[in-house]
Amino acid sequence: MVKIMAVTGYKTHELGIFDEKHQGIKYIKKVLEKRLISFIEDGLEWVLISGQLGVELWCGEVVIQLKKQYPQLRLAVLTPFYNQESNWNELKKEQYNQVLLQADYVDSITKREYENPSQLKLKNQYIIEKSDGLLVIYDDDKPGSPSYYLTNAKLKSESSNYQIFYIYPDEIELAYQDDMLEW
Domains of the chain, each with CATH number or no CATH: 4-182 (3.40.50.450)
Q: What is the mean pLDDT of residues 11-15?
A: 96
Summarised one tens digit per residue, pLDDT across range 88-112 is 999 999 999 999 999 999 999 999 9
β-pairing, 105-108 vs 46-49, is unpaired
Report the Cα 95 to chain-centroid distance in Å.
14
Number of CB atoms found within 10 A of residue 154's CB: 13
Asked if residue 122 has pLDDT above 70, the reply is yes
Q: What is the mean pLDDT of residues 13-33?
A: 95
What confidence score (pLDDT) does residue 120 get? Answer: 96
Share of the chain above pLDDT 90, in %: 96
What confidence score (pLDDT) does residue 182 get? Answer: 72
| Residue at 106: amino acid letter | V
pLDDT band at 180 (very low <50, low <70, confident <90, very high): confident
* Residue 135 exposed, middle or buried by CB count within 10 Å (0-12, 13-18, 19+): buried
Asked if residue 183 has pLDDT above 90, the reply is no
Asked if residue 181 has pLDDT above 90, the reply is no
Asked if residue 179 has pLDDT above 70, the reply is yes
Q: Which of 55, 73, 53, 78 is nearest to 63 (CA)?
A: 73
Q: What is the dihedral angle through the alpha carbons of 161, 63, 33, 124, rounded to the nearest 10 degrees? A: -40
Predicted model pTM:
0.97
Helix axes 90-102, 55-69, angle to 10 degrees: 40
Q: What is the mean pLDDT of residues 9-34?
A: 96
Helical (H) or strand (E) element with 119: helix 118-129
Give the mean pLDDT of the chain: 96
